[in-house]
Amino acid sequence: MFAFIVRRITQAIFVMLIISLIGFAIKNKIGDPVRDLVGERVTPAERAEIRDRLGLNDPFAKQYVRFLKNAAHGDLGLSFFYKKPALEVILSKAPATMELVLGAGLIIMLVSLPLGVYTALRPRSFLSRFTMGFSTLGVSMPVFLTAIMLIYIFGVQLHWLPSYGRGETVDLFGNGWWQSGFFTLDGLKHLILPCVSLASITLPLFIRLIRSEMMEVLESEYIKFAWAKGLPPMRIWMVHAFKNTLLPVVTVFGVQIGIMFAFTILTETVFQWQGMGYMFLEAVERSDISLLITYLIVVGSLFVIVNTVVDILYGLINPTVRIAGRK
């Protein structure tokens, strides 16, 4: 087990190095740190002098090592637009995105668990057929269209829910960092539409996954034995069958949280949600390369960490994984 964890972590570090190398190469080739520092109105001579002083004429490898050293100290460069360290800018936008993902995750759990179990237990009922048909449609529906239609129906036509922004927020830790929309009515109202559209991407997948896992378990010998023993149906379904479908579902959920982060770029654009995804697109428009690279590295590390933790946890729960990986 120890060897498995070490190997997995080495791999994670290796991937992080590759991501940082790609990030640095982009910054080095198309970025202009002099412009980031002093803007456009500086004479070429002064520019050259600044370049020299910043060490931008050093060989690529030397600059990359310096970049890594700075990155290890949390310094990923200055954002050209915000005139602040890029990491600070991204961290200040992170809570908004986290709340979106959290809300969507909650919706997915609350909807997919009952529907998945129900469609497995009653595959021929009307509600099950409707759910399965709807989930096929859901897979084919791009998230920005779901979002736009929700806005049009609930925002423009019915005026029930606000269609952009975060609304009234509460300062969570008293230092202004985490502005939460979970604790005011207005903030919650603003959360509903973005969270529902973000959840709609993976909801069909989860319903299908839970359904197929549950159906498989229901066919197994020990369930038949439980029926033969005469246990009440509720106990068989919930305690014997449902508990055993949870393991694969939890693993997929871990990976899907990462995928949801990717889709926040689309959702945040539609709802003008001031999170990391919205900031990323603004950075592209403003050619704010340091900010782009920092986003790449932050989100990349997030993925690597989530994947590694899920893998290690899975290895702990299911020994065949770590034994199969050994050569």
Partner 1 sequence: MKNSIKRFKESYLFYSFKRDKTAMASFVILVIFLLLSLAAPLISPYNPYDAKTTDLMNAEIPPAFMAEGTSEFLLGTDNMGRDLLSTMFYGLRISVLIGLGAVFLQATIGIMVGLTAGYMGGKVDAVLMRIADIQFSFPYLMVAIFISAIFQLMFGIGSFEQLSVPLLVVIIGLAEWPVYARTIRASVMGEKNKEYVEAARVIGLSRPVIMFRHVLPNTLTSVMVISTIQVANAVMSEAALSFLGLGMPVTMPSLGSLIKSGFEYIFSGVWWITIFPGIFLILFVLVINLLGDWLRDVLNPKLYKG
Summarize as ranges the residues that interact with partner 1 (CB under 8 A): 15, 18, 26, 29-30, 136-137, 139-145, 148-149, 151-152, 155-156, 163, 258-259, 261-263, 265-266, 269-270, 280-281, 284-285, 287, 289, 292, 296, 299-300, 303-304, 307
Contact (Cβ atoms closer than 8 angstroms) between residue 177 and residue 99: no
CB atoms within 10 A of CB 44: 7
Q: How many C-beta atoms lie closer than 10 Å to residue 257's C-beta?
A: 19
Minimum CB–partner distance for residue 12 and partner 1 (Å) = 10
Please state the closest distance from residue 111 (CB atom) to partner 1, in A. Answer: 21
Nearest-approach distance from CB 133 to partner 1, in angstroms: 10
Q: Which is nearer to partner 1, 18 or 316 (CB)?
A: 18
User: Using CA of residue 215, residue 219, residue 220, residue 224, what is the dihedral sign?
Assistant: positive
**Minimal distance in Å, beta carbon 185 to partner 1?**
23
DSSP-based three-state secondary structure for 1? coil
Rank residues 68 and 145 by Cβ distance to partner 1 and give the closer one: 145
Least gap, CB of 53 to partner 1 (angstroms): 25
Cβ atoms within 10 Å, residue 39: 9
Residue number, 242 or 271, with CB nearest to partner 1: 271
Give the position of tokens 């009307």. 126
CB closer to partner 1 out of 273 and 303: 303
How far out from the chain centre does Cα 24 lie? 23
Q: Name the DSSP class of 82.
A: T
- From residue 111, give the alpha-carbon distance in Å to each of 53, 253, 302: 58, 14, 26
Query: Shortest Cβ distance from residue 259 to partner 1 (Å)?
Result: 5
In the complex with partner 1, which residue's Cβ is closer, 199 or 241? Answer: 199
Instruction: Determine the Cα–Cα distance for residues 107 and 113; give it in Å rounded to an integer.
Output: 10
Closer to partner 1 by Cβ: residue 102 or 259:
259
